[in-house]
Structure formats: structure tokens, C-alpha cells
Structure 1
Amino acid sequence: MLYLLGVLIVVIGVGASIALHEIGHLVPAKKFGVRVPQYMVGFGPTLWSTTRGETEYGIKAIPLGGYIRMIGMFPPRPGAGLRVSSTGRFTQLRDEARDQSLSEIQPGDEERVFYKLSVPQKVAIMSGGPLMNLLIAAAVFTGLFTLHGIVVNTPTLSSVSACVDLAAAGRSSATECTPAMPKAPANEAGLLPGDDIVSINGVALDSWDDARALIRDNAGKPITIVLRRGGVTETVTATPMAVQLPIYDEFGTPLKNDDGSVKTELAGFLGAAGTPKSVKQPLTAVPGLLGSQIAQTAGVVLHIPQKMVGVAKAAFGGQERDLNGPVSVVGVGRVAGEVASDEAFGDTSDKALILVSLLGSLNLALFVFNMIPLLPLDGGHIAGALWEGIKRRSFKVAGKPDPGPVDVTKALPLAYAVASLLIVMSALLMYADIVNPIRLRG
């Protein structure tokens, strides 16, 4: 039951995010006078709909997106009064799209078409959806950062290992030592749980991550550690052991070789760990933290093509899924179900925080993904509008007549190619999320 509850929460959250995304398009479209015949959440057969004014609002069967239908998305062909025979497949596609767009224009709608809007109005309508997702994510993460805080590994030691298991690539053992296992350097130096590490080699520490970087860079070299114990400052010397340790990417995920094994490097190992602590953040810190979240999400989105190779290997070759790789709606639902049903993720409040954070991350991903400047994504329409503005401005400066709206139909072949690629990627992701899903716990 808890698993299904987690899935249901995410399904509702995803549906609400899609609905609000489309409202972000709908409100400015109506504000600028464009006639909007349809507002739909989902694709495929209509499950429910109602008409209010001139717009039909509804829910469709496949919850993988949504849309609003605006009339006059494409301008008439040049020389619209002349009917020219189409000689190529792409030309026919453009003509069919234009004809479909123009067929929806009713008497009195001549000035209510999308293509006649100013460039700022077009940008406002097409960016409204992604910006709505960004607003949702900002609200979610502002609450998490300020009310709950972010987990920081402080320089206060939570544990000191007794020895080092060299056979486990540097993983230490605090309780089960054998005569073959050497003492951990931290233990050898006399470090104890509860010690506050002030600096290493004269470098002041803000977190244990700072300490870890200095330790890794000084394999086999003595380091000077200033610590505070019981209010008394002491200085000790330790020599990090040179062992093979995993190499991590910028997202904290271990890098892997072609055979699926974890990449390692010779690095310093001390055998101590900092204390995780949730620290509430001031409102002034939110923009920087949110910016980091956006940058991290953008990094994942931009690397989707290469990460899809790993998804394919996981789907058909049984390799382990990348925790920071792309997932489909199916995968998000499975992760939510795992979090809701597994006691390892804490009590009810802890699980709720994880699920809320998951929805915030999903909205960030929707924002970044939809801003990619390729049709049929919102970013493609924004790019077309901006190009129209640049073209009109350059013509005006050159003393040439207004070139009119940019003919976006010229980009339809690319739009169809991108749409086809997205369908293939979505199908692959859903298959992988069924046969070999991402698991937060092994």
C-alpha cells in the first residue's frame, strides 16, 4: 500500500506540474488575445473534457505531457493568393501544416492569430510554461532550503576507523580488524570521534568535503592537522595512506570503465568521516543554491545523448543504472514507491521531504529540457521568435521593408526528427525502467 501511495503522489504531482506548465502558456496567450480552442493535459484519447467560453479543457489518457492549441501558429505561405504545386516531401509537409493552421481561423479571428503577435508577446507565451516549472521548483526548494536545510558534512569527526581493509580498495573497517590490516592513518595520529578539524596544512575547513579533497591530494605525504577537542586546540601529523579510491564525477557518481567496473585512482585515505548535519539556509542563500541546482540539472540534460548509451546497456545488457542518469515517468514512479515503502529512508516526514524534493527536481528538469532551442520544444519557438526580432531589426536598420513573420514551417523537418528521437528515447527509458530500474538502495 505504501508503495502504491508513493506512486500515486508522484502521478498527481507530475499531472499538476504538466497542468501548471500549460497554464503558463494559456494565461499570456489569452491575455494577448490569441484564440485557444483547446487546453489538454496528456495525449491520446480524451478521458474528460468541458468547454468554458471558447476553450475546451480536458484530460487525456497518456500522462506524458500536455498542450494548448492556439490558432494561426504558422503564417501564410509567401504569395498566399497563388497556389503553387508542391514538388518535394518537405514542401508538402510545410504546406499541410500551414493549411491546417489557417483552416482553424474563423471570421473575426484575423487579428487573434499567434503569428501576428509581437516578438516579446511570442516569447512571453512560449516561455510561460517552462517558467511555471521553474517557479514551482523555486517554491519547493526555497521551502526545503530554509525550513529543513541542506545536509552538510561538517569537519567534526563522526567516526575514526581502527584499520584499513586494503583488499576492499581502501574501504576501512572500524570493528573487524585482522593482523594483516594496517592501522588507519587517522587512528595512528590519535584522532577521535567528536574532534573538530579546524585546518589541514594551514587551509581552513568549512566542510568535510574540503578536508577530503586535501587528504586525497596528499597520498603518502605527511599533513598537519589542527583540531579542537574539548575546547583545547591541538596539532597532530598524519600521513594519508595511498590506496586505490573511486573517481567521482561532478554529481558525486562513481565513474565506470567500459566493462562496468568502477574507475579508481591512487589517492590519499585517512580513515575518518565528517558528521552530516542539516543546516537551515537564509533566504539570501537560496538564489545561489537554486542556481547550482539548475546548473546540475542542465549538466544532466545536456549529457542525455551519451547517457542513453548507458541506459541501453542497462536495458539489454544488465549493467547497473546510473543514479544520475535520465528516467521516464515510470522510473520516477518506481523511485517514489521505493522511498514510500522502505523504512531505510526514515520516518514519514523524511520520506515526505524526499518525495517533495523529487517533484522539485522533476520541475527543474522540465524547465531546462523545454528551454532547449529545438522544435517542437518551447525553446525552439522562443528561438524562432528571437530570430524574427533580429531579422526585422536588421532589415529596419538597412532600410529594407519589414520581412514579416519568420516562416517557422521551414524548421518542421527538424521538428519531426527531434520528435521522433524523443519518442524513441522515451520508449527506451520506459523499457529500462521496467526491466532494470534505478534503485536507490542495492
Structure 2
Amino acid sequence: MEVIAFVVGVLIMVVGLAVSIALHEIGHLVPAKKFGVRVGQYMIGFGPTLWSRRIGETEYGFKAIPLGGYISMAGMYPPSPREREAALAGERSGRAGGGFFATMVQDARAANDETLVGDDDHRVFYRLPVWKRVVVMLGGPVMNLLFAIVLFAVLFSGIGISSATTTIASVSECVLPAGTERTECTSGDPAAPAAEAGILPGDVLVSIDGTPVSTFEEASDIIRAHPGTPIRVVLERGGSEQTVTVTPVRTSREVIGEDGRPVVGADGAPETEEVGFVGVGPQVTRVPQPLWAGPEAAFENVGAVAGIMTQLPVRVWDTAVDLFTGQERDPNGPLSVVGAGRLAGEVAATDAPVLDRVASLIGLLASLNIALFVFNLIPLLPLDGGHVAVALWDGVKRAWATLFRRPPPKPVDATRLVPVTFVVVVLLIGMGAILILADLFNPVSLF
């Protein structure tokens, strides 16, 4: 059953990724068509075409490798004059010399120019006003952000967040020695204060030491602050309130910092503090959050992912080092789609309530869409952010010319950036390969 659940989790993530890609490309497609740009293809995936259908002037379809997608817009770049004149005259121009990158530039121009010849070549992307080009290119990432907001809203407000309530789920029989690996009590272990005071599973904490409590965290804070000091605890049991006196035993625990990790002292050892302990565990239930909690979580994730992206080369390098040295990977480091699928499989195969597994998968898919949003905003071609940067630079040149009453400049020829684009693509492929290998042979594990 675990294997089946693992496969189901992976398939859910694959479908979720395909939906995310489809929405991303719709975010480009809709404004492009709205602004009159001729769109030749809308494809999900790369490689050989598995299925396609032409509706109007656009071919819609799926390709064999579901790791991306694209729409083919006419005139992504302005035409090169020499190629334009040759195409209109029905001639074929020869290849220019200049080496590898010069040939790449010419090939890019030739592929672009093929979409410009015709009676309706005014329906091209590069002729759009700057703001419309920006809207078209930002449409894809924004769709991923909106999808993530919807998923987080379902997770936070629909399913709810696991929260420890004030209802007691378990009461420890004894106090086990610190650092022990034992899980059962012996005759020599002292009784736990809660059990000694008569607290039972099902009791609801009303107040502690005169302070009303509405969450288990509030109750824990008060208990931890009173080691060795008797405190009054008001309970609700069977519809009536009862008062008991509990004396928390003094115990040591590691100091946890704001980042959720143990605080380490100057000698390298974890710092400890004396706190109170009574031996009760809470019932955990899912509590729906306000409607704004989902969008809040989405934008908090944007900030966290953006921080990772700014250090992406360094983090990928660290991942490569961990891969070859066998060290444990940073759980907050970058993942490939293979890693995301593997985590989805692990989540689906865990021995947990179905709702908890569904919630984890939704959160994972939402985080993946945040990553797609942030990654595509990087201002480098061939990413959407690179096309936005080109459009904005074109707008700056035109505004400068207008300000100084100069003739309108020629459109920015992004094909000149093909060598840079090639380097970026090679780096992205290299980093992707490292992450895939790491996710296969040194994976991040949630459990």
C-alpha cells in the first residue's frame, strides 16, 4: 500500500505541475490574443507532440516531456532589415561568418523573421506598446502567484491549520529522566505532576495561575515559567469546572531561537534552561484561519523563495558538495521537479490522516507555484523577466527620445542577446542537472 500511495503522490504532483504550467501559459495567451498578437501555438511540454488540435489560428497541444510549456507569438523580436528584405524579395540570404555566436544570432533572427512575412504582420508582439508587452510577459508568472494564493486559501481557510487545543489528549504517568531513550515508566520513576493532581484525558484547560488560556501554547508558557512552584489549574470536565493544584517539576530543555533551531553557546554546546513540566499533551485539530491568511502566507513565501533565488548559484554549489560528500542536505535548499515529486510521494505514503496528507500536498504545490513565479521574474532571457527587461529598456529609449525631441529609436533587437541567453540556458541546464542528481541520490527527506 505504501508503494501505491507513493506513486499516487508523485502522479498528483505531476498533474499539479502540468496544471501550473498550463495556467502559466494561459497567462501569456489571453492578453496576447486580447491585444491582437498572432499566436501560432499553445503547447504544454517539450519534445515530440503527443496530441494537438487547431482552433482558429492557434494549435493547442501536449508534448512528451511535461517539464515546461510555451506559446509561439509572432514577432517576439523586431525583424532584421537584411533578412526582411530578402524574404520579401523571395530570396534566401547566405549565412554570415563570425563564429558560433554570430551564427546563433542569425538563426534566431531567421526563425523570428519567418513569422513576420504576410499581410497581417502588424499583429506582432514587438509592435505592442511597452505596457502591453509587459502585461503579456508578466501574465504567466502572475497566474502562478494567483494559483498559489488560491491553494494557500484552500489550505488555511478551507482545511485549516493543525493547532494544539486546550483539550487534554494524554497524561504522562511518570517523569522520565532527561536524555533517556525509554518510553515506558518503571517503579523508580516519579509520578508526573498532572497525573498526581488527577488531571484526565478529555479535560479542558480553562485557566492556569489565574490567567485564562485559549490555546495550549499559552498554557505551556505559564507552566514552563513556574518550575517547582504550585499553581492553580481550572479545568472543565463533564460540563462543570474543577480546580486542582499542580506543582511543575523542574527540567532542562534546549533553548530554541526565533529561527526554530537550538541556540548554541560559545563552547559549541546547545544552551539549556530550567523550565516547568507537568506531563500533559494536547488534542490537535484543524482550525480554519481568516480569509486573508492564505494570501498572507503566499506573499511570505514569495519573500522566502526570493531570498533563496538570490543565492541560487551558491545553494546549488552547496547541494553539489553535499551530493559528492554524502552530507545531509539543507531541507530549505532548492529542489528540482524530481525532488518535489519525491516529497509528494513521501507525503502520500505517510501513516497520517488523509486530510493531513491532502493538506501537505496542497502546500507543496502552492510552494512550487511560488517558486515558478519568482524564478520567471529573474531579468534574464529566456525567462519572462528578461522579456520584461527588454520591453522596459525599449520604453526608456523611446521616452528619452521624446523628451529631447529626437526621432523615435528603432525597437530594441533582443536577438543581440542570444549569446547571453545561450550562457543562461547552459547554466540553468547545469544547475537543473545537479539538483536532479541530488534529488535522486541524496534526497531531502521530510521524515
TM-score by length of 2: 0.77
Match of 1:18 in 2: 21
Identity of aligned residues (%): 43
Change over 3 Å in CA distance of 1:307–1:163 after alignment to 2: farther
C-alpha displacement of 1:224? 11
C-alpha displacement of 1:423? 1.0
Match of 1:148 in 2: 159
Match of 1:127 in 2: 138
Picking from 373, 393, 399, the partner of 1:393 is 399
Larger Rg: 2
The answer (yes or no) to whether the contact 1:133–1:366 under 8 Å persists in 2 is yes
Picking from 64, 70, 86, the partner of 2:67 is 64
Q: What amino acid sits opposite 2:345 in the alignment?
A: G
Change over 3 Å in CA distance of 1:41–1:242 after alignment to 2: same
**Per-residue CA shift, 1:195-235, capped at 9, x if unaligned?**
759799x9x9886668889999x9x9999989654458999
The answer (yes or no) to whether the contact 1:198–1:225 under 8 Å persists in 2 is no
Change over 3 Å in CA distance of 1:418–1:176 after alignment to 2: farther
The answer (yes or no) to whether the contact 1:189–1:237 under 8 Å persists in 2 is no
Indicate the SS of the match to 1:37.
strand
The answer (yes or no) to whether the contact 2:35–2:132 under 8 Å persists in 1 is yes
Q: What amino acid sits opposite 1:93 in the alignment?
A: M
Q: Which runs of 5+ in 2 are unaligned?
A: 87-92
The answer (yes or no) to whether the contact 1:46–1:60 under 8 Å persists in 2 is yes
**Mean Cα deviation higher: 64-73 or 367-376:** 367-376
Change over 3 Å in CA distance of 1:22–1:221 after alignment to 2: same
Change over 3 Å in CA distance of 1:351–1:244 after alignment to 2: closer
**Per-residue CA shift, 1:348-377, capped at 9, x if unaligned?**
x43333323332222222122212222211
Picking from 365, 382, 388, the partner of 1:376 is 382
Structure 1 residues 264-283: aligned runs within 5 Å: 264-267=270-273, 270-271=276-277, 276-283=284-291
**Mean Cα deviation higher: 323-332 or 234-243:** 234-243
The answer as to 2:301 corresponding to 1:298 is: no
Structure 1 residues 76-225: aligned runs within 5 Å: 76-77=79-80, 87=98, 90-153=101-164, 162-163=174-175, 165-167=177-179, 175-176=184-185, 196=205
Q: Distance in 1 between matches of 2:221 and 2:379?
A: 37
Q: What amino acid sits opposite 1:345 in the alignment?
A: A
Q: Distance in 1 between matches of 2:182 and 2:171?
A: 10
Q: Distance in 2 between matches of 1:245 and 1:182?
A: 25
The answer (yes or no) to whether the contact 1:199–1:227 under 8 Å persists in 2 is yes
Change over 3 Å in CA distance of 1:276–1:402 after alignment to 2: farther
Match of 1:259 in 2: none
TM-score by length of 1: 0.77
The answer as to 2:37 corresponding to 1:7 is: no
Q: What amino acid sits opposite 1:415 in the alignment?
A: T
Q: What amino acid sits opposite 2:391 in the alignment?
A: A
Paired residues, number: 424
Change over 3 Å in CA distance of 1:287–1:140 after alignment to 2: closer
Picking from 439, 443, 447, the partner of 1:437 is 443
Indicate the SS of the match to 1:44.
strand
**Per-residue CA shift, 1:224-254, capped at 9, x if unaligned?**
98965445899999797555456674xx578
The answer (yes or no) to whether the contact 1:247–1:265 under 8 Å persists in 2 is no
Q: What amino acid sits opposite 2:35 in the alignment?
A: F
C-alpha displacement of 1:65? 0.6
The answer (yes or no) to whether the contact 1:246–1:254 under 8 Å persists in 2 is yes
